[in-house]
Amino acid sequence: MSADSPLAIEATGLVKSFGETRAVDGVDLAVRTGSVYGVLGPNGAGKTTTIRMLATLLRPDAGSARVLGHDIVSEADAVRGLVSLTGQLASVDEDLTGRENLILLGRLLGLRRPTAKARAGELLDAFGLADAAGRLVKHYSGGMRRRLDIAASIVVTPDLMFLDEPTTGLDPRSRNQVWEIVRSLVAEGTTILLCTQYLDEADQLADGIAVIDHGRVIAEGTPGQLKASVGSGALHVRLLDPEQRPEAARVLERSLDGVHLEPDPAALSAPCSDADRAAEAVADLARAGVRIAGFSLGQPSLDEVFLALTGHAAEEEASEEELPV
Amino acid sequence: MSTAPTTRSAPGADEAAVRKALSSTPRPPRASAVSTALTFGWRGMLKVKHVPEQLLDVTITPVMFVLMFTYLFGGAIAGSTGEYLDYILPGILVMSVLFTTVYSGVALNTDLTKGVVDRFRSLPIWRPSPLVGSLLGDSVRYLIAGTVIVVLGVILGYRPDAGIPGVIAALALVIVFAFGLSWVFTTLGLLLRSPNAVMNAGFMGIFPVTFLSNVFVEPETLPSVLEAFVNVNPVSVLATASRGLMEGNAEAGDIAIVLATAAALTAVFAPLTTRLYRRA
């Protein structure tokens, strides 16, 4: 029945306060079935609290949401039967082995013992954990723990999966592995709600993104729209001599579309996403006699998205880590 | 996006196998409450298997108690260590099992600091099953603690009149009572902030309740106010009933009081624990 509904998640005006703090302050979300939806924001923005409400772990103070057609409060049990959660803290039991974790979940989800065992073996093989199957999870590396965590979430294939910061703290290689797994999940038709602090992660995986700050959705769109709204990319230039910055700014203004003076007196940037145009602009600078210490062409960072959308940097929000209460 | 397999340096997960794994499971019917509770009990057993050291506190402490009380106080209290052993062994059985119940609260509090609880709470299972299951697992620890005491007693010369059936009946009664009492500590485990706080508060409660009972001394030797308290203390009733079962002269009234107390503790504190766990 969930397949009939075009929306896997439909949330209106979700509010959750902890004491004086309004962790989530009126969040609306509409997530299409079969898509990956990214919720992007800094620590403490309300991402985890939103996920915990949608996964029926927290009861919203106000607002309502339907997950796969079921109300998260009045039909919480039905929701739990269709979703799985991979939390910010790895949601596996550290004091058990990888195999035992998967058998445990299989049994809890209603598989018979032999089926649960076979399923655990199949998943351990698929996720490259067969060699570590008999080891306690507390001795796993961060990447292995994440893979096990995701494997645990698909012991019985869920219709919707919540992934809360799946790659925070992982090295680039492990991060790529997790991304590959997420892509496989999507290819098989699982809807994913992905919380992340990284714009490039949302960009790599998500079809739609909501940017969240102070418990509110402040922007929404496809990764392309979002990046376009912050100037898609930028050429960053550092000068050897800060005295030459006005001259450099004039050149870049002409070669590219506008220029931005950085707080650093020797640095400036210009919106640009095309490598050829960037190379041209750098050549123009050289021809004009501007001496360059270095330059780079980059995607806008989460900081830049935040700066563009809110006028303040993401870092300011990171004072208080959002933890389950 | 997924068209360039040659650039992937990800031997960690096999994409084709992951896809196959995803498509190969139809959703099974929901597990029953009994099945999920037993599965959580199995989880508790696995932890004992992986960290057998945690059995030390349920085995060494009671052994120390038996030896210390029998040989230190036996002569002074009962005239001879042999006679005192007859009196104190069922009492220490009660005490050491009741002390172990505090650890149920400590373990639950420790569990809450880990992410796995979020997963359990997001599963479509009978809500109290993680709690009931871990207490079932703990009951096995209680059984181990109790068995150690009885075996040690027999080595030291304790010969219960009612024989093995009496001992088994006494152990069962103590474990049922401990199951009820442990809900008090799981409630505490959900209310307090750290495992240490649970441990301290738990023992602050269990020590007086255990010592102000007839576990160690006959109540008649006590000041009258204290005697009155000791006589109504459920721990005294439990100790008396256990002695009775082991000696073959138990009173049905005592056993009924113990079972009723266990049921009452469960009726009050199990729903309270479940409520707190849901919100934790």
Q: Is residue B27 part of a domain?
A: no
Instruction: Give residue B25's pLDDT.
Output: 67
Q: Determine the Cα–Cα distance for residues B58 and B137; give it in Å rounded to an integer.
A: 14
Task: Indicate the number of domains in chain B.
Answer: 1
Do the domain assignments include residue B173? yes
Task: Give me the pLDDT at residue B7, please.
Answer: 40
Asked if B241 and B255 touch (Cβ cutoff 8 Å), the reply is yes
Would you state the structure tokens that stand for residue A10, as one six-digit string? 């439909």
B4 near A CB under 8 A: no
Domain that holds residue B177: 33-279
CA trace torsion A236, A241, A245, A246 (10° rounding): -160
User: With bands split at pLDDT 50, 70 and 90, how would you rate the model's confidence at B280?
Assistant: low
Beta strand A260-261 with A267-271 is antiparallel
A7-228 adopts what CATH topology? Answer: Rossmann fold (3.40.50)
Task: Please give the Cα distance from A246 to B150 (Å, whole number).
Answer: 90
Q: Which of residues 124-153 of A touch B (CB under 8 A)?
A: 125-128, 136, 143-144, 147, 152
Q: What is the mean pLDDT of residues B92-120?
A: 87
Which tops the pLDDT comparison, B80 or B264?
A: B264
Chain pair A-B, CB pairs under 8 angstroms: 151
Question: Which tokens belong to B209?
Answer: 């309740």
Residue B124 clears pLDDT 60, i.e. is over it? yes
> A135, A98 in Cβ contact below 8 A?
yes
Give the mean pLDDT of chain B: 86
Q: Which sequence spans correspond to the domains of chain A?
A: 7-228, 233-298
Tell me the CB-side half-sphere exposure of residue B247, using CA atoms within 13 A: 16
Q: Which of A85, A119, A87 shows the shortest CA–CA distance to A101?
A: A119
Beta bridge partners of A71: A66
Q: Residue A77: list chain B partners with CB under 8 A.
A: 124
- The lowest-confidence range among B12-26, B55-69, B224-238 is B12-26
| Residue B11 forms part of a structural domain | no
Q: Which fold has domain A233-298?
A: Alpha-Beta Plaits (3.30.70)
In a domain, B148, yes or no: yes
Helix (H) or strand (E) holding A196: strand A191-196
Which pLDDT score is estimated for B9? Answer: 41
What does the pLDDT read at residue B204? 92
Mean pLDDT for the stretch of residues B148-165:
89
| Residue A36 CB neighbour total at 10 angstroms | 24
Nearest to B17 by CA among A122, A197, A210, A80: A122
How far does B82 lie from chain A, in Å, by closest CA?
Answer: 43
Q: How many CA atoms lie within 13 A of A100 on its CB side?
A: 20
Query: Which residues of chain A have a pLDDT value below 70?
Result: 1-5, 228-232, 299-306, 310-325
The verdict on pTM exceeding 0.90 is: no
Please check whether residue B65 lies inside any domain of the structure. Answer: yes
| Residue B274 covered by a domain | yes
Helix (H, G, I), strand (E, B) or coil at A11: strand
Residues of A228-250 as b/e, b for ≥16 C-beta within 10 angstroms?
A: eebbebbbbbbbeeeebbeebbe
User: For the segment B175-201, what is each residue's pLDDT rounded down to a tens digit?
Assistant: 999 999 999 999 999 999 899 999 999
- Tell me if B14 is assigned to some domain: no
Q: What are the chain B neighbours of A184 within 8 Å (beta carbons)?
A: 13, 15, 18-19, 22
Residue B171 lies in a domain: yes
Q: Of A87, A127, A176, which has the smallest distance from its Cβ to B119's Cβ?
A: A87
Domains A7-228 and A233-298 belong to one CATH topology? no
pLDDT of residue A232: 60
Q: In terms of Cα–Cα distance, which of B176, B197, B178 is closest to B188?
A: B197
pLDDT, tens digit (0-9, with 9 covering 90-100), for B12-44? 677 777 777 777 667 888 889 999 999 999 998
